[in-house]
């Protein structure tokens, strides 16, 4: 499959890019996508949640009432979980949510996500470009020219570019990454996927 290459003004340059069938033409595997996205979101969790249990509560250790004769259940500590201000029973503790996935499965997930984007005509090839200085207005104009101004877009660059990144950082519906940072979550979370022309060769080498 071939896609046209556009310039920053949104015009067709007349050049074509051949999409590699081993990457963009695979049969999508939904379960692989699910596992990779699940891992991405799990790895993003801090896991710093913590509540105090009865041994960690600050309070008196005296017996709060006599053992018998009160007509109610016996109670030996104000720090008991049944009292207000007492400890939490089986409360959350700091932990890591990370889990491992095989490299082949992660590659399959990214291929599957890219295949879905091709089927929905959501991929745009943009010729190589650069900004002389960080300027959000220039990036907004670029999105308008590509007719994706109101869409959640992911721009994939061959290498990190500070000026382009800083120009897009303040926009909610835009994200700029290098091709080595490409992941399944970002692909599926975007409506439009914009590849800079020279990033396609690096993408093929990655897979």
Which pTM was predicted?
0.83
Number of domains in the chain: 2
Q: Are 42 and 58 contained in the same domain?
A: no
Q: Are 47 and 96 in contact (CB under 8 A)?
A: yes
Q: Are 97 and 45 in contact (CB under 8 A)?
A: yes
CATH number at residue 31: 3.40.1370.10
Which helix H or strand E contains 163, and what residues bound it? Answer: helix 162-168
Q: Are 55 and 42 contained in the same domain?
A: no
Q: Are 186 and 126 contained in the same domain?
A: yes
Q: What is the per-residue pLDDT for 194? A: 95
CA 124/CA 4 separation, integer angstroms: 8
Q: How confident is the model at residue 191 (pLDDT cuts 50, 70, 90)?
A: very high
- Condensed to tens digits (0 to 9), the pLDDT of residues 70-122 reads 999 999 899 999 999 999 999 999 999 999 999 999 999 999 999 999 999 99
- Condensed to tens digits (0 to 9), the pLDDT of residues 132-187 reads 999 999 999 999 999 999 999 999 999 999 999 999 999 999 999 999 999 999 99
Q: Give 177's strand partners.
A: 156
Q: Are 176 and 197 contained in the same domain?
A: yes
Q: In this structure, is residue 97 part of a structural domain?
A: no
Which helix H or strand E contains 202, and what residues bound it? Answer: helix 199-206
Host domain of residue 7: 2-46+102-206
Q: Are 84 and 136 contained in the same domain?
A: no
- Condensed to tens digits (0 to 9), the pLDDT of residues 21-75 reads 889 999 999 999 999 999 999 999 999 999 999 999 998 889 999 999 999 999 9
Q: Are 107 and 149 contained in the same domain?
A: yes
Q: Is the pLDDT reported for residue 206 higher than 90?
A: no
b/e burial code for range 47-65 (CB count within 10 A of at least 16 → b): eeeeeebbeebeeeeeeee
Q: Are 152 and 184 contained in the same domain?
A: yes
Helix (H, G, I), strand (E, B) or coil at 102: coil
């Amino acid at each position: 499959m071939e896609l046209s290459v556009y310039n920053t003004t949104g015009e067709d340059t007349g050049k074509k890019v051949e999409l590699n069938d081993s990457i963009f033409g695979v049969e999508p595997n939904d379960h692989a996508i699910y596992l990779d996205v699940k891992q991405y979101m799990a790895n993003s969790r801090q896991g710093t949640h913590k509540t105090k249990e009865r041994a960690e509560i600050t309070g008196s250790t005296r017996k709060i009432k006599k053992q018998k004769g009160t007509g109610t259940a016996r109670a030996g500590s104000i720090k008991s979980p049944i009292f207000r201000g007492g400890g939490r029973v089986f409360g959350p503790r700091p932990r890591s949510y990370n889990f491992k996935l095989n490299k082949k499965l992660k590659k399959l997930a990214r291929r599957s996500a890219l295949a879905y984007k091709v089927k929905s005509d959501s991929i745009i090839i943009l010729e190589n470009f650069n900004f002389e200085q960080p300027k959000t207005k220039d990036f907004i104009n670029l999105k308008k020219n590509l007719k994706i101004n109101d869409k959640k877009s992911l721009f994939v660059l061959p290498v990190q570019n500070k000026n382009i990144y800083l120009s897009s950082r303040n926009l909610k519906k835009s994200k700029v990454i290098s091709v080595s940072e490409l992941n399944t979550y970002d692909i599926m979370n975007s409506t439009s996927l914009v590849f800079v022309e020279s990033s396609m060769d690096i993408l093929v080498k990655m897979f």
